[in-house]
Amino acid sequence: MTANTNEAAVTESITSPDAEEQEEETEEEEAKTDGEETEQGDETQQSAKTKSFADDLICPISHELPWEPVTAMDGRVYEHKSIQHRNIIETAIEKGEIPEDLPKEWNKRVQQKNKMEKMVKKAEDGDAQAMYDVAINYVRGTAAVEQDLKLSFQWVEKAHCAGSVIATAVMGHYYLAGLGVRKCLIRGIMFLTMAAGHGSDWAAHVLGMVLARGNYGVVVDKSVALFWLKKALGKCAHKNMSDSQKKECEELLNELKANDSSSSTP
Per residue in 188-237, pLDDT (tens digit) is 999 999 999 999 999 999 999 999 999 999 999 999 999 999 999 999 99
Rounded Cα distance, 248 and 251, in Å? 5
Topology of the domain covering 164-266: 1.25.40
Confidence of residue 109 (pLDDT cuts 50, 70, 90): confident
Where are the alpha helices (H) located in 14-57, listed in sequence order? 17-57
Between these two residues, 31 and 1, which has the higher pLDDT value? 31
Mean pLDDT of the residues in the chain: 79
Using DSSP's 3-state secondary structure scheme, residue 143 falls into coil
Rounded Cα distance, 223 and 203, in Å? 17
Confidence of residue 144 (pLDDT cuts 50, 70, 90): confident
The per-residue pLDDT for 81 is: 62
Between these two residues, 201 and 72, which has the higher pLDDT value? 201
User: At residue 34, what is the residue type?
Assistant: D
Provide the sign of the torsion angle of the four alpha carbons 169, 170, 175, 176, taken in this order: positive
Q: What is the mean pLDDT of residues 235-260?
A: 93
In angstroms, the Cα distances linking 109 to 59, 84, 103, 216 are 18, 18, 10, 36
Rounded Cα distance, 135 and 158, in Å? 9
Using DSSP's 3-state secondary structure scheme, residue 78 falls into strand
- Domain extents for the chain? 164-266
